[in-house]
Structure 1
Amino acid sequence: MFVLPDDDDRQFAVTLARGLEMLRCFLPGERMLANRDFVERTGLSKATVSRLAYTLTELGYLRHDVEARKYRLGGGVLSMGYPLLAGMRIRQIARPFMRELALQIRGAVSLGMRDGMNMVYIESCSADKRSDTRPDVGAVHPVLRLAMGRAWLAGVGPEEREVALNQLRVGVPDQWQRYRPQLDQAMRDFAELGACFSHGDMQKNIYGIAVPLSAPVDSETLVFNCAVMDHTPQARALLDDVAPRLIAMIANVESAAGLRQTVTTTPPRYPRR
């Protein structure tokens, strides 16, 4: 649902915001949307949706299927996002460390950033390319359901966290009510253990362990996440070992990226949960 800013912000371009909100209406697995879908998901009038859809189509961000009378995302959306990914040097630096850890834990290691109510995956490596634990680059999942999202909330400063929490309370009240206990536990885990956890909240039989980088990269708080299937051999035994290995990997990535001075060659001591 499209919501205007609370204050009278003369710098806020409402028409631009409405157009971008329409592009955000597409969910994973949805190839096409009709005007009525945009109306339902944004709360905008039919006339406004029709005008914005026409403009976005002319600009290449939407494509109109005449026979189906529906819209699909256009190539402009993809080309607009690629410079962001290509410019993230941390992805190239982290990739070999992520691949090594994925092999060690027999799971997947991912890197993500927050976008509103969701976390977006910007890099991912897996011990098995066919593994269900490995998300695609560009995949989005709700902040509150992921260890990665909880680690982002734990890792940012108090003011930024409070703003994000208020947005989540208002924007996704059902998720807020359902996952608030897990979020509270994640905050305690992060304070005590330096990592946040999840089990089955996003996908059945998947353990998630997440840790944010200690310093922002290009003004963004990035989070590394490990995913291990709980029915694989040694999965449960690995859990006590995954978090310290992830923390050690992040220290090495930060050192390689010039974010810290020392290199960690062995996992730190880590109390059992």
Structure 2
Amino acid sequence: MGRRSERLSRQGALAGDAGEGDVIQVVSRAFDVLRCFEGHEARLGNLEISNRCGLPRSTVSRLTHTLTRMGQLVYLPRDQKYRIGPSAVAMSASMMKGAQLRSMIRQRLQEVAEQLPGTVGFVVPDRFHLVYLQFARSPSALGLHEGTGSRISMASTAAGAAYTAALAPQVGDAFINDMEREAPEAAKILRPRIEANRQSLRERGYVTACGLWSPHINGLAVPIWSPQYQTFVVVTIGLLSAMYDEQRLDAEVAPLMLALGRSLGSLMEGAEGDAFNNRISRKPVAISVHNNNKPMSSEGVNELEAGTRRARPARSFRAGDGRR
């Protein structure tokens, strides 16, 4: 690893160093513009983009011009708006290779969805949001209807709580500091809960969020280290709060979600055997819960995902206790 990579590893890309040292603002802002397009069919003008990403309209105009020349955006003269271009679509397609793995992940999600009347999702972080890469729900699912590509809040969902709790403490704190500058209302929700979320993850291996995103929805989420993305991804489920209070989440939902997390962790690590061939047991999984207040240790620092901890060779979380 070169000196620059070592410096990035020490500082971390999420360590709240925006505007300093290694951060190239024009690149960051270009991605902010692209994030405004939620779906291939979205059409936005410079003013709409400016309002969405909080950049001056003159800056947005220069960025959209450049991105259009690169093929990342396409200009629609009749509408005087932009849409996602062929280069961005091609880049997304190349990043989503591995249809067999995605199919197996989808199968595991569906097995849980057939047992619980909610939406089960596999999400990845994107700044202060998370994006659904896969999802499943039973025909009887009520209340929460997300789909592939949907974005959800990092601050007010069980998935966001699990992701931030899984980060090394100093990285998670820096991430929230960054959030306070760019999304202060979200930071106000997340910061008071971060220590409780970390404790829940250490002791139980999962995090819950009841009535936070919506008074009608309770959620539970399990973070998993992803070798492909070099960060934590999250499996999460949303259920009607009238049907599943926190006690029922712990008793009936947590065992299935922990088993799902272990199964997906094995898939992503390229494991063979049971992870590929066996279905998740229909019976509640026996898990051992340990009261261990030691912080999860960092065993490897990724250059791009500030301080997120690489799992040991053992798959995913140990039997439900949240430790690596």
> Same fold by TM-score, threshold 0.5 exceeded?
yes
Report the equivalent of 1:175. Answer: 186
Contact 1:199 1:208 (8 Å CA) reproduced: yes
Q: Spell out the pairing of 1:79-118 with structure 2 (5 A cutoff).
A: 79-87=90-98, 90-118=101-129
Report the equivalent of 1:128. Answer: 139
Contact 1:112 1:223 (8 Å CA) reproduced: yes
Distance 1:72 1:262, change over 3 A: closer
Deviations 1:145-196 (A, max 9, x none): 1101111112222343233222222221111113433444323322332211
Report the equivalent of 2:199. Answer: 188
Distance 1:262 1:161, change over 3 A: farther
Report the equivalent of 2:19. Answer: 6
Distance 1:92 1:262, change over 3 A: closer
Deviations 1:28-85 (A, max 9, x none): 7993332223344455454433232223223332233333323233344333222222
Distance 1:130 1:102, change over 3 A: closer
Normalised by the length of structure 1, the TM-score is 0.80
Contact 2:163 2:223 (8 Å CA) reproduced: yes
Say if 2:171 is the partner of 1:160: yes
How far did 1:123 drift?
0.9
How far did 1:25 drift?
3.0
Moved over 6 A (4+): 259-264
How far apart, CA to CA, are the structure 2 residues paired with 1:245 and 1:144? 24
Say if 2:51 is the partner of 1:35: no
How far apart, CA to CA, are the structure 2 residues paired with 1:76 and 1:131? 37
How far apart, CA to CA, are the structure 1 residues paired with 2:19 and 2:75? 34
Normalised by the length of structure 2, the TM-score is 0.69
What SS does the corresponding residue of 1:71 show, helix, strand or coil?
A: strand
How far did 1:269 drift?
4.0
RMSD between aligned residues: 3.3
How far apart, CA to CA, are the structure 1 residues paired with 2:31 and 2:267? 36
Contact 2:39 2:149 (8 Å CA) reproduced: no
Report the equivalent of 2:226. Answer: 216
Q: Which moved more, 1:107-116 or 1:235-244?
A: 235-244
Report the equivalent of 1:248. Answer: 259
Deviations 1:89-109 (A, max 9, x none): 653332222111111112221
Say if 2:286 is the partner of 1:268: yes
Q: Structure 2: where are the runs of 5+ without partners?
A: 1-15, 290-324
> Identity rate of aligned residues, in percent?
24
Report the equivalent of 1:207. Answer: 218
How far apart, CA to CA, are the structure 1 residues paired with 2:248 and 2:219? 12
User: What code does the residue aligned with 2:286 have?
Assistant: P
Report the equivalent of 1:57. Answer: 68
Contact 1:153 1:161 (8 Å CA) reproduced: yes
The structure where helix makes up a greater share of residues is 1
How far apart, CA to CA, are the structure 1 residues paired with 2:66 and 2:257? 46
User: What code does the residue aligned with 1:68 have?
Assistant: D
How far apart, CA to CA, are the structure 1 residues paired with 2:264 and 2:156? 26
How far apart, CA to CA, are the structure 2 residues paired with 1:262 and 1:159? 36
How far apart, CA to CA, are the structure 1 residues paired with 2:17 and 2:201? 34
How far apart, CA to CA, are the structure 2 residues paired with 1:257 and 1:87? 11
Say if 2:163 is the partner of 1:138: no
What SS does the corresponding residue of 1:7 show, helix, strand or coil?
A: coil
Instruction: Give the paired residue count.
Output: 264
